[in-house]
A and B are shown apart, each in its own frame.
Chain A
Amino acid sequence: MSEPVLTVTELRVGAGGRAVVVEDVSFELAAGEALGIVGESGSGKTTVAQALLGYARTGLRIISGSVRVAGEEILDRSERELRSRRGRLVSYVPQDPGTALNPSIRVGNHVREVLKAHSLDRQTDGRVRAVLERVELPSDASFQRRFPHQLSGGQQQRLAIALALVCDPPLVVLDEPTTGLDVVTQSRILDEISRLQRESSVALVYVSHDLAVVSSIADRVAVMYAGRIVEEGPTKTIVTAPRHPYSAGLIVSVPDHVEPRQLIGIPGVAVGVADRPAGCAFAARCDLCIPACEDAMPKLARVGEHHFVRCIRWQSTQLPEVEPRRDEATAPGSEALLSVEALQAVHHTRHGTVVAAEGISFAVDAGACVALVGESGSGKTTIARCIVGLHPPSDGRILVDGRRLAPLARQRSREERRTVQIVFQNPYDSLNPRRTVEDAISWPARSLRGLGAREARTEVATMLERVRLPAGTARRYPGELSGGERQRVAIARALAARPKLLVCDEVTSALDVSIQAAVLDLLAELRRDLRLSLLFISHDLGVVASVADRVLVLELGLICEEGAVRSVLSSPQSAYTARLVEAAPSISAPQLLHDATRV
């Protein structure tokens, strides 16, 4: 290996006092190499990414360690010295280009600003054009005169990447650059990034929570947990033969649409910064934990060529057997619980009427799980809102148990409202922060089922047990719960009405994968035990493949394909579905994208 482009040694970042957010992080990166840093929320991955630019977010500071890029030390520099090195030595592509680009600066001037900041203003215009062309953006004058809000999300991210490349830095740090983009756009951006990397031999650090995405782009992967790297190695080794129990758990909890599988979640939640133990931080959630694990923090030990693991029991670690997905058989000939007939929904905006969904017809049988899939703007959430009575449809009918539902919830009978319940996408705002969990769960039981206060309290205990939360949760406020716990409470609240149909609107998209797997598992169990029907709305084909029987693919408010999950995902009929399936990252077939762009 030649002289590494990036050498990180013993990086330690923390807040004042004892709270250390990132500790003992060391790695190297050669020119033209891509390192993926994977971790769940709170693992410290973004803190590491930012430290590579000598930056620590407000409240944190880089305590010790060294970050050398192309032989130059980045840490221990004044803000002025850093400024001249950022962009030239190392540049950063942030998660949300919509907020990272200045809305009042035109596209061309964004590029010029960077050139000016590094006094590279010779032949500026040619250079601006060249850099835009490099990321396959239009380079003509009219495009350069546009403002960021006039670009699509994908174009904004391309521009952000262009800005990172202007000065040809040897190292680019990408922090979740495709999170929040549609899968098709995401796959194009990923293609773009690997092409640029091949062409210019730039070294990449790619930070993401999404193991499937990382495995498609990175040569090596570092898995972070509780502020430390727990495993580092070649991508293939990490994905197929991980040696740290956490990496293994992470891999089997990633849903996959190429090989739909039974997801296995990791029990428990990640430890907070203040509660990190003296021993292995993962011990409390680990099956292989022995007393020695809790005594001291294991060292990151070499276990193979370029493969390092921070676990004393790495020899016993095995990737759990991934079972193909079990099919939840729906009793044949069962009546349709929900039927939607020729539904049309519109949004009224200042600029007129926008049709969000049109000619939507489908049925959900008792005990079945039907998924609505589509990118943002495909109308899937609007359809869900019509069904629960939050958005009056402009045409068509919605029937539950053969009875037609009124357009708005408050015009429906109590029984009808009880039958259909919804769980929302964002568990951080779907629970009232000022009401205890008990209050939140007992209210639907009282208002929709007419239970008395005492009966409702018993019901709360039953529901908490149902969603596998400890009974003590009842007295807690939502602010004291983790995202996964909150989503369970939201599910319990919906279940307290004893519904027949649960509408799940992107219920796992705000959760970490290991938590997502557990929530999906819970939903499957509820389906089995309570014969609950699910209408599952998602943009994630992997998730859909793991839970649904039937799937409807929506494109711009129209159903473009419908059928059994397996056949739609394995042999899509419509061009749009085929594009989605191809673009969706997959951990079982990560080489698809990699090879296509590498060869």
Chain B
Amino acid sequence: MSAISVGRTLERRLAFTRSWLVRIGLVVLAFVLGVAFIGPYFAPYSPSVIPGIPFSPPSGTYWLGNDYLGEDVFSRVLSGGRTVILYGALATLLAYLVGGPIGLLAGYARSRVDGVLMRAMDVLLAFPPILFLLVVATGAGANIYALVIAIAIIHIPSIARILRAATMEISVRGYVEAAAARGDRTHVILRREILPNMWGPIVADGGPRFTVSILLVAAVNFLGLGVAPPTADWALMISENRAGITINAWSVVAPALMIALLTVSINLIADAIASGLGKSVDVEALRR
């Protein structure tokens, strides 16, 4: 019984992989993650040695040419994914962990709780993001973790707003009323009735938001406040090589392509998960 139900649950969980777009997304994501996390062990050169002439075009030795210092672009692409993905993901995740509950609570409780929480969010929203990052960096020094927290804080107000609006819409539905009439506690209602209906907005909003996080990490790195050269980092590579884009385009295009593949594949998968919610496997199978 339980084995069957586990199998069925797994099958249901994986039902979204039936679409071709999702399969492409999964393959691309696996590729990007593979490059980012296994790539460094296969890099032909150390990412911080300078073996060639700056901005040389691709050759048999340097497959993607050389960058502004003459470092091997291919090796740096293989080594530069980890920081981008980790810090971007960490900041996004952190933002949802804090902003999500705030939005749910404000949207469901309305009244005074809503007012207090949302005014607090407005205060945060009032800071220009880059200025905020600069202030944090000045205070904390070039500490990447302080900056990750700062990026999360930048996301929190808008996440809270989106989820508050979505929650307000859901909380007048019959099933939420039914739960309230059963006397379910607020946290039970939020978890059982409202949160499952939030995955759509969360997943739809999370993809682009992850992209923004990566770009903010890149901006911070560009200003020399986060990951500093000579560390290889896709975002950093785009900014440091932008002057040479006409000479060796690959030095910019290759890291940019990796970031693009990463965000597109995440968004493809996110959309499919969002649209597959609320369907059981049986019916999907019947349709085919």
Closest CB in chain B relative to A539 CB, distance in Å: 18
Q: Is A364 an interface residue (CB 8 A)?
A: no
A434, B174: Cβ atoms closer than 8 Å: no
Q: How far is the CA of A409 from the CA of B8 in the complex (A)?
A: 36
A480, B280: Cβ atoms closer than 8 Å: yes
Q: Is B60 an interface residue (CB 8 A)?
A: no
Q: Chain A interface: which of B123-131, B175-183, B224-232?
A: B175-183
B280, A476: Cβ atoms closer than 8 Å: yes
Closest CB in chain A relative to B181 CB, distance in Å: 4
Q: Is A233 an interface residue (CB 8 A)?
A: no
B183, A409: Cβ atoms closer than 8 Å: yes
- Within A371-402, the residues touching B (CB, 8 Å) are 388-390
B283, A417: Cβ atoms closer than 8 Å: no
Q: Is A146 an interface residue (CB 8 A)?
A: no
Given the known interface contacts A424-B177, A479-B278, A479-B279, the answer about A434 and B184 at a Cβ–Cβ threshold of 8 Å is no
- Within A397-450, the residues touching B (CB, 8 Å) are 409-410, 412, 414, 417, 421-422, 424-426, 429-436, 440, 443-444, 447-448
Q: Is A83 an interface residue (CB 8 A)?
A: no
Given the known interface contacts A424-B174, A429-B174, A493-B178, the answer about A412 and B183 at a Cβ–Cβ threshold of 8 Å is yes
Q: Is A475 an interface residue (CB 8 A)?
A: yes
A430, B174: Cβ atoms closer than 8 Å: yes
A417, B280: Cβ atoms closer than 8 Å: no
A476, B182: Cβ atoms closer than 8 Å: no
Closest CB in chain A relative to B185 CB, distance in Å: 7
* In-complex Cβ contact of B178 among A412, A430, A478, A480 (8 A): A430
Q: Is A497 an interface residue (CB 8 A)?
A: yes
- Within B212-245, the residues touching A (CB, 8 Å) are none
Q: How far is the CA of A479 from the CA of B200 in the complex (A)?
A: 15
Interface residue total, chain A, C-beta cutoff 8 A = 36
Q: Contact size class for B?
A: 20 to 34
Kindly list chain A residues whose C-beta atoms are within 8 Å of the C-beta of B193.
Answer: 432
A434, B283: Cβ atoms closer than 8 Å: no
Kindly list chain A residues whose C-beta atoms are within 8 Å of the C-beta of B180.
Answer: 389-390, 409-410
Kindly list chain A residues whose C-beta atoms are within 8 Å of the C-beta of B279.
Answer: 477, 479-480
Given the known interface contacts A424-B178, A447-B182, the answer about A475 and B280 at a Cβ–Cβ threshold of 8 Å is yes
A476, B278: Cβ atoms closer than 8 Å: no
Kindly list chain B residues whose C-beta atoms are within 8 Å of the C-beta of A433.
Answer: 197, 278
Kindly list chain A residues whose C-beta atoms are within 8 Å of the C-beta of B177.
Answer: 390, 424, 430
Look across to chain A and name the residue whose beta carbon is closest to the beta carbon of B197.
A434
Kindly list chain B residues whose C-beta atoms are within 8 Å of the C-beta of A412.
Answer: 183
Kindly list chain B residues whose C-beta atoms are within 8 Å of the C-beta of A422.
Answer: 178, 181
B178, A434: Cβ atoms closer than 8 Å: no
* In-complex Cβ contact of B282 among A421, A440, A443, A475 (8 A): A475
Kindly list chain A residues whose C-beta atoms are within 8 Å of the C-beta of B184.
Answer: 410, 447
Look across to chain A and name the residue whose beta carbon is closest to the beta carbon of B287.
A274
Kindly list chain A residues whose C-beta atoms are within 8 Å of the C-beta of B278.
Answer: 433-434, 477-479
Kindly list chain A residues whose C-beta atoms are within 8 Å of the C-beta of B183.
Answer: 389, 409-410, 412, 414, 417
Kindly list chain B residues whose C-beta atoms are within 8 Å of the C-beta of A476.
Answer: 280, 282-283
B283, A480: Cβ atoms closer than 8 Å: yes
Q: Is B33 an interface residue (CB 8 A)?
A: no
B182, A497: Cβ atoms closer than 8 Å: yes
Closest CB in chain A relative to B287 CB, distance in Å: 10
Kindly list chain B residues whose C-beta atoms are within 8 Å of the C-beta of A497.
Answer: 182
Q: Other than A412-B183, A433-B278, give 5 A-B pairs with Cβ distance below 8 A.
A: A410-B183, A424-B174, A425-B174, A433-B197, A436-B280
Show 21 residue pairs from A and B whose CB-CB distance is below 8 angstroms, ordered by the A residue: A388-B181, A390-B177, A409-B183, A417-B181, A426-B174, A429-B173, A429-B175, A430-B178, A432-B197, A434-B277, A435-B192, A444-B182, A447-B188, A475-B280, A477-B278, A477-B279, A479-B278, A479-B279, A480-B283, A493-B178, A497-B182
The list of the 4 closest CB pairs from A to B, nearest first, reads A430-B174, A434-B196, A409-B183, A432-B175
